[in-house]
Amino acid sequence: MSKFTYTIRKDGRVAKKVTINGHQKYICAKDERELKKKYEELQMLKYNGITNLSDIKMKDFSQKWYDLNSASKEYNTKQNYKNAIDNHIIPSLGNKKVRDIKLYDIKDLMLKMENTPSSAHKTLSILKMILNDAVDNDIILKNPALNVKAPASVKKE
């Protein structure tokens, strides 16, 4: 197995040159561990035939995110991820390109889930993690879910 090589930039970040569809691209990260994770994600996407990340749909990206991030998680955490992705995120946002998802799309999803505030909170949390990965992979510039709040639970008297 070859050694994972990278360069250290002047600003202290680490970078690695990769080739996608014959084009050279640099991926950057704060440290070697994060860079290696980004590189492995890119290799997995390339292996699965997804080479143009800017056109990836939310259903594909969230499935890839689940595959990459659920391996070391507990059974219940995996089930929470799977439930939120399959029952809420994909039906509402799955056919949109990740780069086309806007704040109002996420607010609309939360509005649809206002009768189940616990599920809405979990779904929003998972959606924020997925979109943070999209930011890290340079698919989007900022996470549109950052300032969205889940519906508050109504206290029974």
pLDDT in tens, 49-81: 666 666 789 999 999 899 888 888 899 999 999
Measured between its terminal Cα atoms, the distance across the chain in Å is 63
- C-alpha distance from residue 42 to each of 48, 104, 114, 125, 156 (Å): 10, 29, 36, 24, 48
Q: What is the mean pLDDT of residues 6-14?
A: 90
Residue whose tokens read 């197995």: 1
**127: confidence class by pLDDT, cuts 50, 70, 90:** very high
The two three-digit tokens of residue 130, written as one number: 């997925």
Task: Evaluate if pTM is beyond 0.75.
Answer: no
- Give the model's pLDDT for residue 49: 63
Instruction: Answer whether residue 126 shows pLDDT above 70.
Output: yes
Q: What percent of the chain has pLDDT over 70?
A: 90
